[in-house]
């Protein structure tokens, strides 16, 4: 029992690295291209106005030419190029972090599920109670998770999403859909565990989710992003940041409560 409990404790400690909360300040990544476009348009209009209203140079005696003066528009172009490069690099980092935390959380969750099954089976054996029917359902959920929650290359999809619109939309699709399916699968697993523990005479009240991830429509989000010329993408990115954060918060409640009860039985 002590080995199984220790493995479960390690799984829970892994959430510090695996379940990263991401700030909504990352939304600024979406605002950089908008800012660059606005500044570019204003700069273009300013240069046209400056060229139109330049007063004529009065005739006078010749003078020695001074050092060459760099036109103002060159500085504006350099600034826009720098902002564009910064936005491009930061967008790659953002997509990498989004995909990477998906991969890390799903891996940790699989380990957690497997070790919970081991601990519960050990408790049932100790009490001489047959719970294999209930645990078989839990193990089936674990097998489904292994088959469906496969790892996505964070580096590959981060780079592709920065240069190809279709790749960016696909990344947004699987980030949104995978967490929804993951949460439904997780709820089913925990309900099965709660029933098995009930047969062992252990009451485990599953905490209710304060925020349930909805089955968001990818097609609707894509259409709204296109017809708003990308502005709806700001809200879409907000969803991709917020939904996993809420999911991780619930994990803390469930894991701490479940581990506390299982650990008390192991003492």
Query: Does residue 27 have a pLDDT over 90?
Result: no
What is the distance between the alpha carbons of residues 210 and 220, in angstroms, rounded to a whole number? 25
CB atoms within 10 A of CB 61: 4
Q: Output the pLDDT for position 126.
A: 85
Per residue in 114-148, pLDDT (tens digit) is 999 998 888 888 888 888 888 999 999 999 999 99
Q: What is the pLDDT of residues 49-64, one digit of tens each?
A: 665 655 555 665 555 5
HEC sequence for the chain: CHHHHHHHHHHHHCHHHHCCCCCHHHHHHHHHHHHHHHHHHHHHHHHHHHHHCCCCCCCCCCCCCCCCCCCHHHHHHHHHHHHHHHHHHHHHHHHHHHHHHHHHHHHHHHHHHHHHHHHHHHHHHHCCCCCHHHHHHHHHHHHHHHHHCCCCCHHHHHHHHHHCHHHHHHHHHHHHHHHHHHHHHHHHHHHHHHHHHHHCCCCCCCCCCCCCCCCCCHHHHHHHHHHCCCCHHHHHHHHHHHHHHHHHHHHHHHHHHHHHHHHHHHC
Among 5-9, 42-46, 183-187, 222-226, which stretch is predicted with the lowest mean pLDDT? 42-46
Give the pLDDT band of residue 45 (cuts 50, 70, 90): low
Distance CA 132, CA 134 (A): 5
Q: Which of 7-16, 66-75, 139-148, 226-235 has the lowest mean pLDDT?
A: 66-75
Q: Where are the domains of the chain?
A: 2-8+98-266
The answer to whether the beta carbons of residues 95 and 157 sit under 8 Å apart is yes
Give residue 109's pLDDT band: very low, low, confident or very high (50, 70, 90).
Answer: very high
Q: What is the pLDDT of residue 74?
A: 62
Q: What does pTM read for this prediction?
A: 0.83
Mean pLDDT of the chain: 84
Mean pLDDT of 224-250: 92
For residue 154, pLDDT over 80 is answered with yes
């Amino acid at each position: 029992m002590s080995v199984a409990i220790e493995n479960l404790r390690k799984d829970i400690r892994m959430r510090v690295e695996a379940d990263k909360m991401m700030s909504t300040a990352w939304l600024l990544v979406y605002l950089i291209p908008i800012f660059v476009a606005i500044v570019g348009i204003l700069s273009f209009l300013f240069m046209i106005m400056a060229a139109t209203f330049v007063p004529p140079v009065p005739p006078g005696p010749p003078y020695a030419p001074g050092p060459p003066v760099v036109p103002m528009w060159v500085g504006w172009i350099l600034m826009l190029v720098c902002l564009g490069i910064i936005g491009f690099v930061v967008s790659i980092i953002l997509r990498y972090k989004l995909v990477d935390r998906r991969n890390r959380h799903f891996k940790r969750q699989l380990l957690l599920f497997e070790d919970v099954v081991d601990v519960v089976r050990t408790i049932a054996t100790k009490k001489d109670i047959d719970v294999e029917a209930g645990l078989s359902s839990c193990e089936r959920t674990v097998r489904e998770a292994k088959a469906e929650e496969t790892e996505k290359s964070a580096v590959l999809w981060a780079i592709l999403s920065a240069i190809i619109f279709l790749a960016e939309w696909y990344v947004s699709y699987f980030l949104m859909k995978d967490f929804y399916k993951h949460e439904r699968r997780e709820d089913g697993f925990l309900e099965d565990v709660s029933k098995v523990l009930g047969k062992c005479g252990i009451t485990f009240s599953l905490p209710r989710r304060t925020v349930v991830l909805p089955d968001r429509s990818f097609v609707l989000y894509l259409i709204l992003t296109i017809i708003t010329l990308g502005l709806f993408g700001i809200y879409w990115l907000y969803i991709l940041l917020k939904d996993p954060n809420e999911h991780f918060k619930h994990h803390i409640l469930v894991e701490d409560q479940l581990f506390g009860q299982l650990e008390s039985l192991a003492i």
